[in-house]
């Protein structure tokens, strides 16, 4: 397949990007679901500029910093109930690696070093570093040549949980069977995406299954890790994807929306029971990366988090998301290529009728015809189940922008239909 040349971005403001030829693009994917405040937020720019003039970098082993201290306070104020500790990283993949290290170290310290199996769903997306890649249950993301990187010693083959035929997400039955297969006493952690992103095109996990896994983790002694790298920080209409099921995981990883795309920052939020098992500061056990929690990234994220809280953007995502889902349902009734409208808040996905002989061809064609019509969409395909795109504009979007989004998407779908008939 020949790659279509990408436009060259020149600038961006709010929900719009502009290329070097002056064309505008409505950002209906918020970057890759990270630019949650839109582009060019004045308060974030001011915070970054001010921090740059003070100090850009200190290593966390030598100094803390005011923005990092304030950010940790703000994070603990919005974190799921029982969160006691925050570990910082630069990417979602690193935050998941950190959660893996914490889970293994926790069991070692609490007398269960034999708990080494880590389970995840297929399809799922947990990142591209070796441990996260091993968790990632999405064959298309894992090139056969990467096999030597995959840590099959700790993450046993057969620990992947597949949905029932025709379903998008695994349910309680599939999880129970997989836990039986692995042997519950060997399981260190179960990783879930409360709302699937790149893997399933915004398919939410069933709330009852999530609550059942929480109870099962307590009964059987494994840790429940919610990967909210994409769905956290208000995107789904609540602060956390887990909030929809009314439960708190043992560990929660997040990133993207935390810094709003202005810098790189990700977190692993650690519950009190897990943090309490360590007699040394957790950071000195699981370590981090040179740039973890640097003052510049902390200052940017602090400004983002303040705006999310002050403007109650999670609630806004719930309100706008209901209206956007209704607009998408109207388009689904008109365009037969749309097989489903799903998701939560402003993390919405369209299931698309694909052609099994050409995996992802339809979602790629829709993404590129949308671009021709000045609309940025995020592909979210599960090649072996169904094709999809995500529709996820900034949490700061206006109703007028959502009307414009629906208008451009309608035109892109007309173009797609004209090319495939
Ligand atoms: N986990 C989920 C659910 C994600 O959506 C992503 C990225 O899309 C990651 C992990 C990896 O994050 P990063 O790309 O920042 O390493």
Q: What is the mean pLDDT of residues 73-99?
A: 98
- Give residue-wise pLDDT tens across range 339-350: 999 999 999 999
User: 417 or 122, which is more confident?
Assistant: 417
pLDDT at site 153: 46
Q: Which atom of ligand 1 is nearest to the CA of 197?
A: 5
218-222, 321-325, 377-381: range with lowest mean pLDDT: 377-381
Q: What ipTM does the predicted assembly reach?
A: 0.99
- Give the separation between CA 301 and CA 293, rounded to whole angstroms: 10
**Confidence class for position 130, pLDDT limits 50, 70, 90:** confident
Cα distances (angstroms) measured from residue 416 to each of 279, 307, 373, 419: 59, 38, 11, 5
- Give the separation between CA 239 and CA 49, rounded to whole angstroms: 28
- Ligand 1 pocket member 125 (CB < 6 A): yes
pLDDT at site 131: 87
**Is residue 8's pLDDT more than 80?**
yes
Give a three-class secondary structure readout of the chain.
CCCCCCCCEEEEEECEEEECCCCEEEECCHHHHCCCCCECCHHHHHHHHHHHHHCCCCCCCCCCCHHHHHHHHHHHHHCCCCEEEEEEECCHHHHHHHHHHHHHHHHHHCCCCCCCEEEEECCCCCCCCHHHHHHCCCHHHCCHHHHHHCCCCCCCCCCEECCCCCCCCCCHHHHHHHHHHHCHHHEEEEEECCECCCCCCCCECCHHHHHHHHHHHHHHCCEEEEECCCCCCCCCCCCCHHHHHCCCCCEEEECHHHCCCCCCCEEEEEEHHHHCCCCCCHHHHHCCCCCCCCHHHHHHHHHHHHHHHHCCHHHHHHHHHHHHHHHHHHHHHHCCCEEEEEEECCEEEEEECCCCCCCCHHHHHHHHHHHHCCEECEECCECCCEEEEEECCCCCCCHHHHHHHHHHHHHHHHHHHHHHC
57: tokens are 């970098």
- Residue 165 has phi, psi (to 5 degrees) of -55, 130
pLDDT at site 421: 67
Ligand 1 centre to CA of 127 (Å) is 5
**Is residue 383's pLDDT more than 60?**
no
- Ligand 1 pocket member 404 (CB < 6 A): no
- Ligand 1 pocket member 396 (CB < 6 A): no
User: 362 or 156, which is more confident?
Assistant: 362
pLDDT at site 156: 47
Ligand 1 centre to CA of 418 (Å) is 34
- Ligand 1 pocket member 90 (CB < 6 A): no
Chain center to CA of 329:
24
- Residue 28 has phi, psi (to 5 degrees) of -90, 15
- Give residue-wise pLDDT tens across range 255-268: 999 999 999 999 99
- Ligand 1 pocket member 304 (CB < 6 A): no
pLDDT at site 369: 97
- Ligand 1 pocket member 93 (CB < 6 A): yes
- Ligand 1 pocket member 127 (CB < 6 A): yes
CA-closest residue to ligand 1 atom 13 = 92
**Is residue 151's pLDDT more than 70?**
no
pLDDT at site 122: 86
Q: Are 44 and 304 in contact (CB under 8 A)?
A: yes
Q: Which atom of ligand 1 is nearest to the CA of 193?
A: 3
Q: Which atom of ligand 1 is nearest to the CA of 93?
A: 16
Chain center to CA of 60:
26
User: 181 or 252, which is more confident?
Assistant: 252
Kindly tell me the sign of the dihedral angle through the C-alpha atoms of 413, 416, 417, 418.
Answer: positive
Nearest to 298 by CA among 258, 254, 268: 258
52-66, 349-363, 404-418: range with lowest mean pLDDT: 349-363
Ligand 1 centre to CA of 53 (Å) is 31
Q: Which atom of ligand 1 is nearest to the CA of 230?
A: 5
pLDDT at site 379: 86
- Give the separation between CA 10 and CA 21, rounded to whole angstroms: 8
Say what the pTM is: 0.96
Ligand 1 centre to CA of 91 (Å) is 7
- Give the separation between CA 210 and CA 193, rounded to whole angstroms: 10
Q: Which residues pair with 378 in a beta bridge?
A: 390
**Is residue 1's pLDDT more than 60?**
no
State how beta strands 251-254 and 223-227 pair.
Answer: parallel
Q: Which residues pair with 119 in a beta bridge?
A: 190
**Confidence class for position 363, pLDDT limits 50, 70, 90:** very high
pLDDT at site 158: 52
Ligand 1 centre to CA of 141 (Å) is 12
pLDDT at site 166: 83
Ligand 1 centre to CA of 161 (Å) is 19
- Ligand 1 pocket member 126 (CB < 6 A): yes
Nearest to 388 by CA among 328, 318, 316, 333: 328
Ligand 1 centre to CA of 229 (Å) is 5
**Is residue 319's pLDDT more than 90?**
yes
pLDDT at site 390: 97
Across the chain, mean pLDDT equals 93
Q: What is the mean pLDDT of residues 144-148?
A: 75
**Is residue 382's pLDDT more than 70?**
no
196-205, 214-223, 336-345, 398-407: range with lowest mean pLDDT: 196-205
- Give residue-wise pLDDT tens across range 177-212: 999 988 999 999 999 999 999 888 999 999 999 999
Q: Which atom of ligand 1 is nearest to the CA of 90?
A: 15
User: Ligand 1: which of 120, 124, 256, 379 to mutate, most ligand atoms within 8 Å of CB?
Assistant: 256
**Is residue 3's pLDDT more than 80?**
no
- Ligand 1 pocket member 102 (CB < 6 A): no
To the nearest 10 degrees (0 to 180), the angle between helices 295-310 and 66-78 is 40
């Amino acid at each position: 397949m020949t790659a279509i040349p990408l436009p060259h971005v020149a600038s961006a403001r709010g929900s719009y990007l502009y290329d070097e030829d002056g064309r505008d693009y409505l950002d209906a994917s918020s970057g890759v679901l990270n630019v949650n405040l839109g582009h060019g937020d004045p308060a974030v720019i001011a915070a970054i500029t001010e921090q740059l003039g003070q100090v850009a970098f200190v290593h966390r082993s030598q100094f803390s910093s005011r923005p990092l201290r304030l950010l940790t306070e703000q994070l603990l104020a919005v974190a799921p109930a029982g969160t006691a500790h925050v570990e910082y990283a630069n990417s979602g993949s690193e935050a998941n690696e950190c959660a893996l290290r914490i889970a293994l170290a926790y069991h070692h310290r609490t007398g269960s070093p034999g708990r080494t199996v880590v389970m995840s769903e297929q399809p799922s997306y947990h990142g591209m570093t070796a441990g996260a890649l091993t968790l990632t249950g999405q064959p298309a993301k894992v090139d056969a040549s990467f096999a030597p990187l995959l840590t099959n010693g700790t993450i046993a083959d057969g620990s992947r949980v597949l949905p029932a035929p025709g379903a998008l997400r695994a349910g309680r039955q599939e999880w129970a069977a997989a836990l039986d297969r692995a042997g519950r006493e060997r399981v260190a952690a179960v990783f879930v995406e409360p709302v699937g992103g790149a893997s399933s095109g915004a398919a939410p996990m069933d709330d009852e299954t999530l609550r059942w896994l929480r109870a099962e983790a307590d009964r059987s002694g494994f840790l429940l890790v919610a990967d909210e790298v994409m769905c956290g920080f208000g995107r789904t209409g609540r602060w956390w994807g887990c909030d929809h099921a009314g439960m708190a995981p043992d560990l929660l990883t997040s990133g993207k929306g935390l810094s709003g795309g202005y810098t790189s920052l990700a977190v692993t939020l650690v519950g009190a029971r897990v943090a309490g098992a360590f007699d040394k500061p957790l950071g000195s056990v699981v370590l981090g990366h040179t740039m973890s929690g640097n003052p510049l990234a902390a200052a940017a994220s602090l400004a983002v988090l303040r705006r999310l809280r002050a403007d109650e953007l999670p609630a806004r995502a719930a309100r706008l998301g209901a209206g956007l889902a209704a607009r998408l349902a109207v388009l689904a009734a008109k365009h037969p290529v749309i097989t489903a409208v799903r998701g939560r808040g402003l993390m919405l996905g369209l299931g698309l009728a694909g052609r099994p002989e050409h995996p992802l061809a339809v979602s790629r064609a829709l993404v590129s015809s949308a671009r021709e019509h000045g609309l940025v969409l995020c592909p979210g395909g599960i090649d072996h189940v169904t094709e999809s795109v995500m529709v996820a504009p900034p949490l700061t979007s206006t109703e007028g922008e959502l009307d414009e989004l629906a208008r451009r998407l309608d035109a892109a779908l007309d173009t797609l239909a004209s090319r495939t008939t």
